[in-house]
Each structure stands twice: as C-alpha cells, then as structure tokens.
Structure 1
Amino acid sequence: MTEPSETYAAIVGATAQIEWKDLEPHFARGELLVVDSALDLVEVAQALIEDDSTRVKDWMQNNQLSSASDQQAADWHERNPETLWAVVIRPWVLVQERR
C-alpha cells in the first residue's frame, strides 16, 4: 500500500461532517457540488485541485459529480441528514451524503 500524498492528507484534515443549514449559502451562490456516495470525496477534491480534467469530466458525464439541484437542496432542507460531509476546494464546496 502506498502512502497518501501530502495533498490527500491535507484534504482529509479539512473534510468534516456538516449540517445543511451551513451549506445553504453556498448552494444559493451556486458553489455547491454534489459527489456521489460511490466515490471517495477526498479523491474527487484532489482531482479538482490537480486539475485532472479527464477524471472530473468522466464523473460529471456519469452524474457522479454535479451542481446541487433545487430538488436535492429541498430534500436536504426537509430531512436535515446527519450524514453530510463537505470540503472546500475554492471556489467550490464539495458535499457528499454518506449512507
């Protein structure tokens, strides 16, 4: 097993559980990206930092990475799930609902 990169380790340290109310302002500004639960949130963040456009485009084409929709926001507002995790990769905030 290889050691995680310094970037990966830094992202892990900046990733945290979060409440929907704290994400709402980012959603309102169009800065919220939803990461599918099948993906590694930290790996997606690292791909954005490293400008790995091939992987990012692939995830977007497969609907595994997308802008948060109004429907998604309404659902999270109603349910207020305790399983939301987020990390800031400026200008984006990546969010993932873990099951």
Structure 2
Amino acid sequence: MTEHRESRLELAAKIDVTDWFSLRAHLERGGVILVDRMLDLTEVGVAVAGDEVKLLERWIAGGLVGKPSAEQVAGWDAQTMKVFNCLIVSPFVLVQEVPEEKA
C-alpha cells in the first residue's frame, strides 16, 4: 500500500499546466487522453500507471476518459490561449481542461 501512495504523490507532483499548442504534437501520435473535470487527474494517472483496466473501462464507458473528439480539437485549435492541466504517464499525456476563468 505504501508503494501505491508514493506513486500517487509522485504523480500529483508531476501535474503541470500547458497550452494546447504544446500538446498538439502528442495528439498527432495518438497520445492525448482527455480526462473530465469531474475526475481527479492524479487518480486517473494512478489508474493508467497501475493498468487498472476495469476502472479505466468504467470511466471510458461513462465518457469521463477518452480521446478528444474532432470537434473538441477544432475548438482548441481556434483558441490560441487554451490551457490544460496535464500529466505524463508514458506513453500517454493525460489532459484536463482548465476552466477559462482560471486560465
């Protein structure tokens, strides 16, 4: 259990804020995973790092985790200052939209 808690703390410390332009290259290689703001980004990172398939499948089925849609990408492309919280859990970059009032 200690190891799990340490990885959670390590992942939480790696969350960063970046702009959409910086994430675009990761999208091109299929590495961007969008996480709904209802979920904790660290918790999703722990699930991905720990290969918690059942939990991830539940989130995907509920539309809380997944690849961004073409409409979302087009919208982000149009917003030059769009920012995201991001967490790299190789080979993926987990991203979560930052509400505009906090950007």
TM norm. shorter chain > 0.5:
yes
Unaligned runs of 5+ in 1: none
Q: 2:77 & 2:14 partners in 1: Cα distance? A: 24
Amino acid at match of 1:81: K
Find out whether 1:35 has 2:44 as its counterpart: no
What pairs up with 1:66-77 in 2 under 5 angstroms? 66-77=66-77
Post-superposition Cα deviations, 1:1-60, rounded to whole Å, max 9, x if no partner, equal xxx811111111111000001000001111100000100011001001111111100000
Q: Number of matched residues? A: 95
Question: What TM-score do the two structures reach when normalised by structure 2?
Answer: 0.86
How far is the alpha carbon of 1:98 from its aligned partner?
A: 2.9
Structure 1 runs of 4+ aligned residues shifted over 3 Å read none
Q: 2:65 & 2:7 partners in 1: Cα distance? A: 20
Q: 2:53 & 2:93 partners in 1: Cα distance? A: 17
SS in 2 for 1:23: helix
Identity of aligned residues (%): 27
Residue in structure 1 matched with residue 24 of structure 2 by the alignment: 24
What pairs up with 1:1-99 in 2 under 5 angstroms? 5-79=5-79, 80-82=81-83, 84-99=84-99
Q: Give RMSD over aligned pairs.
A: 1.3
Amino acid at match of 2:93: V
Unaligned runs of 5+ in 2: none
Q: 1:48 & 1:86 partners in 2: Cα distance? A: 14
Q: 1:74 & 1:14 partners in 2: Cα distance? A: 27
